[in-house]
Amino acid sequence: MTHVGYLIAGWGITLATLGTYALRVVRRGRNLSTRVPDAHRRWLEDQGPEGA
């Protein structure tokens, strides 16, 4: 395979950036969720009482 370094860099940076950003968004959401009552989180409606 040719250009391995470029391929690893291009794909690696993309997957790492998207993964890191996704984790950051989820963590921000978790921190904020503890400060807001369930009533403000309408997306919980489709879950069971245990938040499955």
Partner 1 sequence: MATEPTSPDTTPPGAGRDTTGSRGSRLLGVVTLVGLAVLVVLAFVVTDPDVRIHPTSGEEFGQFDAVRMLYVHVPLAVMTYLAYGLCAVASAGVLIRRTPWWDVTAHAAAEVGTVFCGLVLVTGSIWGRPVWNTWWEWGDVRLMSTLILFLMFAGYLALRRTTGDPRASSRRAAVVALIAVLDIPLVNRSVEWWENRTLHQQSTLGDLKIEDLTLFTLMLGFLVLGMVLAWLLLHRFRVGWLERAALEHSVAAAIIERRAETPTSEVHRAVGEAGDAGTAAGDRS
Residues 1-52 close enough to bind partner 1 by CB under 8 A: 1-4, 6-7, 9-11, 13-15, 17-18, 21-22, 25-26, 28-30, 32-41, 43-44, 46-47, 49-52
Residues 6+ apart with CB under 8 A from 44: 38, 51
Quote the least distance from Cβ 26 to partner 1, whole Å. 6
DSSP, res 47: S
As a whole number of angstroms, the distance between CA 12 and CA 14 comes to 5
Compute how many residues bind partner 1; rule: CB under 8 A.
39
Quote the least distance from Cβ 40 to partner 1, whole Å. 4
What is the residue type of 29? G
